[in-house]
Each structure stands twice: as C-alpha cells, then as structure tokens.
Amino acid sequence: MEKEHPLHRLQFGTDFHWGVSTAAFQIEGSGDSDGKGRSIWDTFTAGKGRIRNNDHARIACDFYNSYEQDIALLCGLHIPDFRFSLSWTRMLPAGRGALNQKGIDYYNRLIDHLLGQGIVPWTTLYHWDLPQALQDKGGWVNPDSISWFADYAAVCAKHFGDRIPNWMVMNEPSVFTGAGYFLGIHAPGKRGLTSYLKSVHHVTMATAAAAGVLRGDTQSNIGTTFSFTHIEPTSQKPKDVAAAARVDTLLNRTFIEPLLGMGYPDDDLPLLRRIRRHMRPGDEKLLAFDFDFIGAQCYTREIVRARFFTPYIGAGLVPATKRASETTEMGWEVYPPSMYHTLKRLHAYDKIKKIIVTENGAAFPDTVVNGHVYDSRRRDYLQSHLRELLRAQQEGVNVKGYFVWTLTDNFEWAEGYHPRFGLIHVDFETQRRTIKQSGYWYRDFLRQL
C-alpha cells in the first residue's frame, strides 16, 4: 500500500479559508438574560423526554459571558476564521417589532472583538432558533414568515453589515424542516406532510428574500448552507437504485435546486408536486438567488434500500451500525469519500460559483485523562476528509474553505450533551476547557508556512 504524504496547508492554496463553526443556541446559554426572548428551542427543551437525559441549553458553553476566553483559545489554535450564528430573539424578542438594544450591543462586542484579534467573522442569520412568538403564529408554515425573516435580515444588515464580510442565510433547511415540521423530533415538534411541505416552500422563499436584503444593504459575500449526504443504493437492483434516487432528491436537491433557479425537483420525487398547492402567483420567479458561495456540510453517507411500506418515499436507510466498519457517537458511518463525491456533485451545478465546506467533524467518546484528551479518531477523521477535499480540488472543484464542526463541545440538539464534536473538551459542570489532541493537530497544521 502506498504511503500517504503528510497534508500541508499550502496544498489547498493561499486564498483558502480555514475555520471552525458554531451556533448561538448550542453555545451561548443565557437564554433569558438581558431581554432575550424565547425561541422554539427554549420551549422544546423545556418539555420532558424530548432531549436526551432531559438536558437543556440554559447555560450550554456560557459563550454569552465567556466569549473572550473562547476566542483566546481560538487565537491560540491559530484558527483564522470563525463561523457563528445570531440569535433572532436576542435582538428581536418577539421576532419583529421592538429591538432589544442589549442584544445588538452583545453582537457588536463579539464582532469587534473578533476583528480586533484578526479573526474573520462568518455569520449565519438563522441556525434553527425561530422566535416562539412567531411560531405561535404558525412559524415557517405561515407564508408571512417570508417577510418576517426578510425584516430580520434588514435589522442584522443595518447593525452589523459594515463588519461582516461573509453571510450565510440559512443553516441546513432540510434538517430543521424535516425534523421540526414533519417528524416532530426537533423544535417546534410538529408532525405531518402538509406542515412540512409548507415550511419547505416558505423557507426557500425566505432564503432568497433575505439574501436579496443582504445583497442590497451590504458589500458582503452572500451564501447559504445545506447539509449534503452522499447516497448509495444497497444493491444495483432497479428498485434499490430508484429508492436511493428518491432519498437523494429529498435530502440533497429539494432546497438547493429551486434556489439555483431550477425549480423543485418534483419530476424525480412526485411528492414535491404537492408544494404547488402552497405556492402563490409569482413565487417561482422569487425562488432563485445568485449566491456568491454555497456552504456544504458533509459528515457521512447513507445506504438506501427499497421499502414498499414506507409512506411517501418507498425507501429506507440501512443503519450504519449494522453495515459500517466504523461509526461515530451519532451512529454515522465514517466514510471519507463522501466529501469527494459531494464536492464533485456540487461542482456539476454550473450556477454554483464557489463552495465552502462550512461543517465537517465527528463525535467520539472523549474523556480527560491527566489533563489531556487523546482523540486520535477525530484527528484521523479530519485528516482523511481533508484528503478527499484536496482530491476534489485537484480535479477542478472550486472549493475555497473548510470549517471544522466545532470549536467546543456543545449542546447537540435532541442528543443533548452526550455527543462531543469539539476540538476543545468542555466540562459542563465547571465550564473548564481542555484542548484535545485534534485541536493541537489543527493548530500545528494551520501554523504551516
């Protein structure tokens, strides 16, 4: 077997962005401090049995109070770019109307501190924490959500647009609509096909609308992020191949293709034709936006088989724990070529100008031993996925950035604090931080000249 040569930062180009990604609800804590309003995740986590171990995010990583400490760690790791999201209810407690100046002031301090440390901010408008006051009006099922979100974007552009060079509009819409409005396993806990299809259309429309606001009100690069999962059939039998194509359409094409001006891919997934019932005259022309970059979030692959009795899609996933040689704490297969296949596929869309890998990482059972965390599996995971990214880049894919998920262990939604994704270990009882072996590896990699 040919020996792999060590990765070197300069192999990826001098204009390549290196960073870590985070999300407000998962790290900030202080859910009711300084005038912040209630989000759907505040409500959802308050219900018993919804979150593993009944965990909550009222403190989380306490980033709201300790961001200077964590940014100092970021600087010590030589990480030049930092992706974070804004909490809608920290600035607009009711989702619209009266501003909470203390929330505006907090993000001004955070942004200014990042810039003062020489760190490039990448800011996500929406990472799943819809204001509860707007959910009470229907949330993303309500067509008014399009204008609510555009107005929120205008507030963010006004207060922060002069200092944010890179915006991402939405984070992983396929996840928060599917898990939140169809399966009910994420906030706001709604179930049903109609609520899901309405939310799909309104979120897509809102993405384009908010992107237009940012384009008009700032001089920034405008992008949005999607989760992409490499899909393969369990066999080459026609029924399995067709089932895999349907799952692929649902997970990987439903949002990106209308935003690229291609319309919903309903020829390949007839279920999506029902979205037309919820479209208003002129909607189709408003779906598309000319993004400066697309954020790709890549973690794993899924194997699909035909399953006649599965409603709507006639397909099922073969659990990775039953077929894969290595899985993460999330039960996801460790399959580095998924990065290569995802990037090559996105490159085939001629309207995508540039790709940024805005999330990639893994959860493993980390423990602190004598002040150290030896997470060689995470280090190996990151290295192997970067090799696949480099392979795609060398074949002509215009990928210009890579962000590890995530800086610190944090609140992982319905899984609570059990899965640890961070480059930095957090003891949630004491808030003590311990840089993991993978964090030191990333530091040494980024220090290469």
441 is in an annotated binding site: no
172 assigned to active site: yes
Residue type, 139: G
Burial of 449 (0-12, 13-18, 19+ CB in 10 A): exposed
- Cα angle 188, 128, 385 (rounded to 5 degrees) comes to 130
Q: Are 363 and 416 in contact (CB under 8 A)?
A: no
78 is in an annotated binding site: no
* Catalytic one of 28, 302, 333, 359: 359
* Catalytic one of 172, 257, 333, 388: 172
413 is in an annotated binding site: yes
Instruction: DSSP for 109-163, please give it.
Output: HHHHHHHHTTPEEEEEEESS--BHHHHTTTGGGSTTHHHHHHHHHHHHHHHHTTT
Retrieve residue 31's tokens: 């859910």
359 assigned to active site: yes
372 is in an annotated binding site: no
Burial of 15 (0-12, 13-18, 19+ CB in 10 A): exposed
Contacts of 1 (CB under 8 A, 6+ apart): none
Query: What crossing angle do the helices spanning 337-347 and 376-394 adopt, rounded to 10°?
Result: 30
Q: Are 36 and 42 in contact (CB under 8 A)?
A: no
Q: Are 357 and 405 in contact (CB under 8 A)?
A: no
299 is in an annotated binding site: yes
Known binding-site residue numbers for substrate:
26, 127, 171, 299, 405, 412-413
Active site amino acids: 172, 359
User: Which residues participate in the annotated binding site?
Assistant: 26, 127, 171, 299, 405, 412-413
